[in-house]
Amino acid sequence: MKPTVCLPLMRRCTSCMSNLARKTIRGFAQLIIVLGIVLLAPAWTLNFWEAWVYLFVFAASAAWITAYLWKKDPKLLERRLNAGPGAEKERSQKRIQLFASFVFVGVLILPSLDHRFSWSEVPLSVVILGNVFVALGFLIIFVVFKHNSFTAATPYAIVRHPMYSGALVMLFGTPLSLGSWWGLLMFIPITFIIVWRLLAEEKFLCESLPGYTKYCQKVQYRLVPSVW
């Protein structure tokens, strides 16, 4: 290929990466700011150390995954940045994503209100365990993304939806890390929504993707090995 042809391609590639960098930084900053507001505003105080620790663990874990995808799989990073209710094409998936967004906010607000009105007394050891669950959930998601980068199917040989499994681990740990027993109530609807979404996805894939039905027969469990 002649240099005169390569130069515009290189410029276009550089421009795309620059746009992705701006979008990534802006999206990450907006996410952390919104999380901080949702965590601290209902508590009506900045003296909520559990929320600050959770925010740090969440931000550090998300930044770690983002940095990896930026280096190894920017296309996957771009797809993840475009995810959300607006990115879904089917109406049912838009509805599920919208419900999931509202319930996730509830997962954060209820512990924040719990802190404000002192409904729960959670031991420090449980708060630490909750943060371990949050980090572990992100680690599972990272492993899924890592294997996607190398087009390997290792996580999918254990359960059919390993990323959702990681999300559930993280969501279960969230209210504990925020020092709230009552916040665990929100784990019920968020689990229901995730199951609703994955069943809808499986129905679509069985109808449109050749070989997916055989894959489901081979990998029997959806979220939890030896359970379901």
User: Where in the chain are the domains?
Assistant: 3-218
Cα 182 to chain centroid, rounded: 22
| Confidence at residue 53, expressed as pLDDT on a 0 to 100 scale | 97
> How many beta carbons lie within 10 A of that of residue 228, not counting itself?
10
| Confidence at residue 139, expressed as pLDDT on a 0 to 100 scale | 95
Cβ distance 169 to 191 under 8 Å? no
Q: Which tokens hold the place of 99?
A: 């419900």
CATH topology of domain 3-218: Four Helix Bundle (Hemerythrin (Met), subunit A) (1.20.120)
Distance, CA of 219 to CA of 153 (rounded, Å) = 12
| Confidence at residue 84, expressed as pLDDT on a 0 to 100 scale | 59
| Confidence at residue 95, expressed as pLDDT on a 0 to 100 scale | 83
| Confidence at residue 17, expressed as pLDDT on a 0 to 100 scale | 65
| Confidence at residue 3, expressed as pLDDT on a 0 to 100 scale | 52
| Confidence at residue 211, expressed as pLDDT on a 0 to 100 scale | 86
| Confidence at residue 9, expressed as pLDDT on a 0 to 100 scale | 47
| Confidence at residue 109, expressed as pLDDT on a 0 to 100 scale | 96
Give, in order, the Cα–Cα distances in Å from 19 to each of 9, 13, 69.
15, 10, 15
> How many beta carbons lie within 10 A of that of residue 149, not counting itself?
15
| Confidence at residue 32, expressed as pLDDT on a 0 to 100 scale | 93
Q: Where are the alpha helices (DSSP H) in the chain?
A: 3-40, 49-72, 74-81, 91-117, 124-149, 162-177, 187-208, 212-218
- 157 phi and psi angles, rounded to 5 deg: -85, -10
Give average pLDDT by consecutive 10-residue segment, the chain, 228 residues.
Answer: 51 64 86 95 96 96 90 82 64 81 93 96 97 96 81 72 93 97 95 90 86 88 88
pTM of the model: 0.85
